[in-house]
C-alpha cells in the first residue's frame, strides 16, 4: 500500500507525561494536570522487585475516578523479559487507550503484540505505541511503520527514547542534539510516510526551563507532534510549543474560507493574501483547525 493511501489522523499529543506506576501519589496527581496524555510506566521507572506491586497500584488507580480528557497509555516491559506477559495481562484487563512497547527493534515486535490483543478480543480502540530507542529501531523505523499500518494493525505512534540510544551509540548529550538530528529526522520521515504520530524524547533536567524550551522549539521545527515529559513542570512549555498559535490558526481559517468560496471550485491552486496556496495546504489547514478545536474543548471541559 502506498504512503499516499495512509491519511494521518489528528490527535492531541503535545504533552505526554510519564508517571511511574509504583508511585501512588503521582498517579493521583494526574487528575489535575493539563497534559494531553499519561504514560503509566511499568518499565524503566519500576525496580524489578516492585513490578508486581506497580501492577496492583495501577489496577487500583484504573478502578477509581476516571482520568478525564487525557489519553491513557501503559508502558510494559519487553515480552522477552520476566515481566512482559504479566504486564500484557494487565493491559488486557484495564483496556487503556494504548500500550507502549519499549525497545522496538523490528516489525515483528509490533505485530506480536497486535496478535496478542486480537487473540484476547481487545477493543479496536486499544492502540499500540512503539518506543524507538535502539540502533536497530532507528534503522528499521520505516519498516516498522509500514508493517504497523497494514490491515488490522493498531500502531498509532512512535516515541523516541534517546537515553537508551545515546547509551548504545556513545553519542554524548549535547545542546542542540547535533549528532542525533539525522536519526530523529529519519523517524519523522517514517511516521509521516505511514500516517503515524511522533513524540520526541524526554529532557532529563526538568529544572532547566530555558534549555527545555529550546529543545521543544527544536523538536517542533523538525516536525514532532509532542514531547514525552518526566515532570509536570514541563507541561505548559510543551503545550505552548506543540500547539498552534493564534496567527497560525487565523491563516488556516483563511485558507479554508478561500477554498470554500465558489470561485475556487475545481481549482487546485488559488491566491490567498498574495500567496499561492495548493489543496494540500487546505488539508494541513483543516488538521490545524481541528487540533485547535480539540484544545479549546479540553479547556472548556476543565
Is 238 found in the same domain as 256?
no
- What pLDDT digit, counting tens, does each position of 41-89 carry? 999 999 999 999 999 999 999 999 999 889 999 999 999 999 999 999 9
Domain that holds residue 151: 3-242
Q: What's the number of domains the chain is made of? A: 2
Residue 134 has a pLDDT of: 97
N- to C-terminal Cα separation, the chain: 41
How far lies 176's CA from each of 53, 159, 214, 219, 223, in Å? 39, 19, 8, 10, 15
Q: Is the pLDDT of residue 4 over 60?
A: no
Overall size of the chain counted in residues: 302
Residue 94 has a pLDDT of: 97
Q: Is the pLDDT of residue 5 over 60?
A: no
Q: Which residues contact 60 (CB under 8 A, 6 or more apart)?
A: none
Among 207, 227, 242, residue at a domain's last position: 242
How far lies 242's CA from each of 29, 116, 135, 177, 261, in Å? 23, 33, 27, 19, 30
For 17, other C-beta atoms within 10 Å of its C-beta total 26
6: confidence class by pLDDT, cuts 50, 70, 90: very low
3 state DSSP class of 67: coil
Q: Say which CATH number the domain at 109 has.
A: 3.20.20.60
Is 210 found in the same domain as 79?
yes
| Residue 31, Ramachandran bin (φ over 0: left; ψ between -120 and 50: alpha; else beta) | alpha
Residue 279 has a pLDDT of: 84
How far lies 167's CA from each of 135, 171, 230, 244, in Å? 10, 7, 19, 34
- In angstroms, the CA 288 to CA 222 distance is 17
Residue 230 has a pLDDT of: 96
- What pLDDT digit, counting tens, does each position of 98-148 carry? 999 999 999 999 999 999 999 999 999 999 999 999 999 999 999 999 988
Is 283 found in the same domain as 233?
no
Residue 274 has a pLDDT of: 80
For 171, other C-beta atoms within 10 Å of its C-beta total 15
- In angstroms, the CA 234 to CA 158 distance is 20
The secondary element (H helix, E strand) that includes residue 175 is none
Tell me whether strands 15-20 and 37-41 are parallel, antiparallel or unpaired. Answer: parallel
Cα within 13 Å of Cα(293), Cβ side:
9
296: confidence class by pLDDT, cuts 50, 70, 90: confident
Q: Looking at residues 247-251, what average pLDDT do you find?
A: 88
Is 69 found in the same domain as 141?
yes
Q: Can you list the alpha helix ranges (DSSP code H) found in 63-106?
A: 84-94
Asked whether residue 220 is marked as a ligand-binding residue, the answer is no
Q: Looking at residues 246-272, what average pLDDT do you find?
A: 87
**Which of 94, 195, 92 lies closest to 153 in space, CA to CA?**
195
Is 104 found in the same domain as 198?
yes
Is 22 found in the same domain as 155?
yes
Q: Looking at residues 222-234, what average pLDDT do you find?
A: 97
Q: Looking at residues 145-154, what average pLDDT do you find?
A: 82
Is 149 found in the same domain as 53?
yes
Is 28 found in the same domain as 173?
yes
Asked whether residue 236 is marked as a ligand-binding residue, the answer is no
Q: Which residues contact 131 (CB under 8 A, 6 or more apart)?
A: 75, 100, 101, 102, 103, 104, 137, 158, 159, 160, 161
Is 282 found in the same domain as 227?
no
Among 227, 242, 257, residue at a domain's last position: 242
- In angstroms, the CA 132 to CA 175 distance is 21
92: confidence class by pLDDT, cuts 50, 70, 90: very high
9: confidence class by pLDDT, cuts 50, 70, 90: low
Residue 1 has a pLDDT of: 35
Asked whether residue 213 is marked as a ligand-binding residue, the answer is no
287: confidence class by pLDDT, cuts 50, 70, 90: confident
Residue 8 has a pLDDT of: 55
Q: When comparing pLDDT for 20 and 283, which is higher?
A: 20
Percent of the chain with pLDDT over 70: 95
Average pLDDT for the chain: 92
Among 198, 227, 242, residue at a domain's last position: 242
* Residue carrying the nine cell digits 527545555: 212
Q: What does residue 15 show for φ and ψ, rounded to 5 degrees?
A: -125, 115
The model carries a pTM of 0.89
Q: Looking at residues 14-18, what average pLDDT do you find?
A: 98
Is 223 found in the same domain as 271?
no
- Reading the block at residue 140, the C-alpha cell is 528499521
Is 288 found in the same domain as 181?
no
Amino acid at each position: 500500500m502506498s504512503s499516499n493511501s495512509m491519511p494521518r489522523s489528528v490527535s492531541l499529543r503535545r504533552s505526554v507525561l510519564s508517571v511511574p506506576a509504583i508511585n501512588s501519589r503521582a498517579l493521583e496527581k494526574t487528575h489535575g494536570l493539563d497534559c494531553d496524555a499519561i504514560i503509566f510506566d511499568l518499565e524503566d521507572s519500576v525496580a524489578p522487585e516492585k513490578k508486581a506491586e506497580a501492577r496492583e497500584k495501577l489496577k487500583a488507580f484504573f478502578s477509581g475516578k476516571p482520568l478525564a480528557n487525557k489519553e491513557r497509555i501503559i508502558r510494559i516491559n519487553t515480552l522477552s523479559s520476566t515481566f512482559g506477559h504479566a504486564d500484557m495481562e494487565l493491559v488486557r484487563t484495564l483496556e487503556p487507550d494504548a500500550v507502549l512497547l519499549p525497545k522496538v527493534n523490528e516489525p515483528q515486535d509490533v505485530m506480536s503484540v497486535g496478535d496478542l490483543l486480537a487473540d484476547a478480543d481487545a477493543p479496536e480502540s486499544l492502540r499500540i505505541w512503539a518506543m524507538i530507542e535502539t540502533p536497530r529501531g532507528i534503522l528499521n523505523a520505516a519498516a516498522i511503520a509500514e508493517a504497523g499500518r497494514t490491515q488490522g494493525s493498531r500502531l498509532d505512534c512512535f516515541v523516541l527514547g534517546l537515553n537508551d540510544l545515546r547509551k548504545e551509540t556513545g553519542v554524548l548529550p549535547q545542546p542542540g542534539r547535533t549528532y542525533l538530528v539525522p536519526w530523529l529526522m529519519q523517524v519523522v520521515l517514517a511516521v509521516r510516510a505511514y500516517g503515524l504520530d511522533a513524540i520526541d524524547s524526554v529532557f532529563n533536567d526538568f529544572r532547566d526551563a530555558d534549555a527545555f524550551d529550546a529543545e521543544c522549539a527544536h523538536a517542533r521545527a523538525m516536525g514532532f507532534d509532542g514531547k514525552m515529559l518526566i515532570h509536570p513542570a514541563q507541561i505548559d512549555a510543551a503545550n505552548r510549543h506543540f500547539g498552534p498559535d493564534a496567527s497560525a490558526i487565523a491563516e488556516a481559517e483563511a485558507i479554508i474560507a478561500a477554498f470554500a468560496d465558489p470561485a475556487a471550485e475545481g481549482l487546485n491552486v488559488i491566491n490567498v493574501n498574495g500567496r499561492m496556496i495548493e489543496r494540500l495546504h487546505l488539508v494541513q489547514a483543516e488538521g490545524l483547525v481541528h487540533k485547535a478545536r480539540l484544545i479549546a474543548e479540553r479547556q472548556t471541559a476543565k
